[in-house]
Amino acid sequence: MTAPSPQTEAVDRLPPVAPDQRQAILAAPRTTEAHRAFMAGIAAMSMVESGGTPTDATAPQIFTVAAWNIERCLFPEKSAALLAAQTPDVVLLTEVDCGMARTAQRHPTAEIAAALGMHYVYGVEFFELGLGGETERPYCVDDHNEAGWHGNAVLSRAAPVSTTLIRLDDHGHWYIEGPFSWDRDQPRIGGRMAIATIIPTVAGNLCVVSVHLESNADSAHRGRQMERLIDAIDRFAPDLPVIIGGDLNTGNNKEAPDWRDESLFDIARDHGYSWDNNAQGMTTRRSFLTPHPTRSMKLDWFAARGLSMDGAAIVPALDPAGEPLSDHELIVGHFAIP
């Protein structure tokens, strides 16, 4: 994989995949080589969408970050209300749809940013060729996806100085056929990724990163993704304080399902990152799309470098009626630039 550019091109709207391009993807042999060619040919895979309206010129010296795997975002208004109650200065979203039938062809990132008075940058993790999994299809309002995007986002009250999209793999495990295929029933182009932005604060610039690591892999694979992520951050934002937040899928391993055994924790520590500002407790729950009554995992984390830390919380991902908004809880951390 090539190193990311210092700054990724930002556009008002990600260019869609043309119908003939989609048909070529469906008709092609499902190999890693074909996948890499399609990745290179889809313009949106190397761009970010930038929108919303910032309300502040700079973030404060002491600030709040919320990170949330929003599980497609079936409920944008209720999700925005839960986030607003935490008064975050920065929001890091993962697994958020854009133009998908299962989420009513909506753009939840843009809607949440508007509700919170924030700027947003959104990047594509996957271009989805189907309508989703078995539990998702009953929510589909159409028999097609208008855009088919699924990705990550950074929302902030202050507009970023610059942004980069960091690709963590391009092997096409969610597209290829064979023993290394991870889901033959939900083919998609793309791979795990992160979005890093540099945000101005009253005490200088800050780098914040929204990341989603691989679920269908082992600790060693996620460790390599963390190494690649930190290396890219160091090139993009050298010498800046950094917050990494998101779904790291720690312990999501059938052979050894214990988050404490993940190699990525020590890898980040070796690069000067601290894991101290994370609340105790599991971060998953039963949801409409993930109806597993006994699922309890610790997947969601903050890692910070060059910052003081002032507490963290796990906020139940429930609406006022007690209905789930996601299969992941919302995590919140309070930080300060020394």
Q: What pLDDT does residue 183 have?
A: 61
Q: Which two tokens stand for residue 69?
A: 């795997």
Residue 121, CA distances (Å) to 8, 90, 113, 327 in order: 11, 12, 10, 23
Domains of the chain in start order, with CATH, are: 9-336 (3.60.10.10)
d(C-alpha 240, C-alpha 125), whole Å: 25
The length of the chain, given as a count of residues = 338
User: What is the pLDDT at residue 255?
Assistant: 61
Which amino acid does the sequence have at 124?
V
> What is the per-residue pLDDT for 6?
76
Q: Look at residue 167 in the predicted model and tell me its pLDDT.
A: 96
**Tokens 């989805």 correspond to what residue?**
128
Q: What's the pLDDT at 310? A: 87
CB atoms within 10 A of CB 168: 23
CA distance 89 to 66: 8
C-alpha torsion sign, points 176, 178, 182, 185:
positive
- Which H or E run contains 47? strand 47-52
What's the pLDDT score for residue 184? Answer: 60
pLDDT of residue 194: 98
Element (H, E) at 52: strand 47-52
Q: What pLDDT is attached to residue 2?
A: 46
Residue 46 per-residue DSSP state? G
**DSSP letter, residue 75:** -
Low-confidence stretches of the chain (pLDDT < 70) are 1-5, 178-185, 254-257
Instruction: Name the residue among 180, 254, 250, 198 with its Cα closest to residue 219.
Output: 250
Predicted local distance difference test score (pLDDT) of residue 182: 58
